[in-house]
Amino acid sequence: MDKSSMPRRHAATARLEQLLRPETTAVPSTAGYLDTMPGEVVPPPGRAQAAWQNRFGSAAWQRIQRVMAASFVPGYRRVADQLRLRPGQTVVDVGCGPGNVTVRLAEAVGDDGLAVGVDLSGPMLELAARQARPNMGLLRADATGIPLRDHCAEAACATAVVMLVPEPVEALAEMVRIVVPGGWLLVMVPCRPVGRLAALTGPLVDATSRFGGARMFTPDELQGLLERLGCEQVGSEVTFNMLTVYARTADESA
C-alpha cells in the first residue's frame, strides 16, 4: 500500500464510521476494513459462500469476476451509470466481494463522494482493501442486517450476491432502508438463459446453481419483490445468463 495514501484512506474510514448506527460497534481491522462482527464465525449456508471464506476462493472469484466484466457480462461495467451516480454522493455496494465493482463506484462519485463496500467475508474485504480508492470505506457485516443509518446513501447495489443469501427479501429490504427516498437500487444475479441458449446451457446453469447453493430468480420474481418493498420504476434486462434489475425507492415528496 502506498504510504502517502494512508491518511486519505483513514479519512474515508472516519466518514464511514459516521454512517454507522449509534449502537454499532466496529473494530478497525489491520487488513483495512471495519469489522462489526469481530471474532464471529458465521457458518456458510452453501458451497459458494464457504469457498469465499478463505483466501484461495476469494482470489479465484476476483479473477472470475474480472473476466466476466471484461467479456460476456458488460453489466458489471455499467453499474455506476445505471445507478445514476453523481460526484459527491454516497453509494453502498452490498456483498462487495473483492471490490471490483466498488472501485468503479468510487471513481463515479469522485473525491467528495464515498463508496462503501459491505461483505461478510474477511478474506474478500482484504482483497478489496488492496485496491481501495481514497474515498472507499469497507465494512464487514451481514447483508440482512446492514449496520448503516436509514437513508444514508443515494444509491445501493448488490452484484452476484442476493442469490446466495438465505433470506433475500431481508437483504433487499435493507438496501431499500439505507437509500434515500427517490434513490436508486440495482441488483444483479445469475438467471437461467432464455431463447436458443436455454436448451444448451440451461441444464449446466441449473446444476451449477444447485451445487453452489444459489437461488435462480426470474425477472418477474425479483421485480415483484422490489415492488412489494415499495420501489418504483422497476425494470430489468437480461444479458446471456445475468439478470439486472433496477428500481427507484419511493419518493413521498414527488
**Which residues are 149's β-sheet partners?**
none
Q: What is the architecture, at CATH level 2, of domain 3-37+44-183?
A: 3-Layer(aba) Sandwich (3.40)
Closest CA to 31 of 125, 131, 135: 125
Q: What is the mean pLDDT of residues 129-140?
A: 95
Residue 75 pLDDT class (50, 70, 90 cuts):
low
pLDDT at 89 over 90: yes
According to the model, what pLDDT value does residue 1 have? Answer: 41
- In this structure, how many other beta carbons lie within 10 angstroms of the beta carbon of residue 18? 10
pLDDT at 51 over 60: no
According to the model, what pLDDT value does residue 3 have? Answer: 41
Residue 93 pLDDT class (50, 70, 90 cuts):
very high
According to the model, what pLDDT value does residue 8 have? Answer: 46
According to the model, what pLDDT value does residue 128 have? Answer: 93
- Indicate the average pLDDT of the chain: 82
According to the model, what pLDDT value does residue 218 have? Answer: 78
**Which residues are 247's β-sheet partners?**
185
Q: What is the mean pLDDT of residues 245-253?
A: 89
Q: What is the mean pLDDT of residues 131-149?
A: 96
Domain boundaries, the chain: 3-37+44-183
According to the model, what pLDDT value does residue 144 have? Answer: 94
d(CA 53, CA 43): 10
DSSP the chain: --GGGHHHHHHHHHHHHHHB-TT---EEPTTSSEESSTT--PPPSSHHHHHTTSHHHHHHHHHHHHHHHHTT-GGGGGHHHHTT--TT-EEEEET-TTSHHHHHHHHHH-TTSEEEEEES-HHHHHHHHHT--TTEEEEE--TTS--B-TT-EEEEEEES-GGG-SSHHHHHHHHHHHEEEEEEEEEEEE----THHHHHHHHHHHHHHHHHT-----HHHHHHHHHHTT-EEEEEEEETTEEEEEEE---TT-
According to the model, what pLDDT value does residue 135 have? Answer: 97
**Segment among 61-70, 137-146, 147-156, 210-219 with least mean pLDDT:** 61-70
pLDDT at 226 over 80: yes
pTM (two decimals): 0.83
pLDDT at 74 over 90: no
Q: What is the mean pLDDT of residues 18-37?
A: 95
According to the model, what pLDDT value does residue 246 have? Answer: 95
According to the model, what pLDDT value does residue 101 have? Answer: 93
Q: Cβ-count burial of 217 within 10 angstroms (0-12 exposed, 13-18 middle, 19+ buried)?
A: buried
Most confident of the ranges 64-68, 239-243, 249-253: 249-253
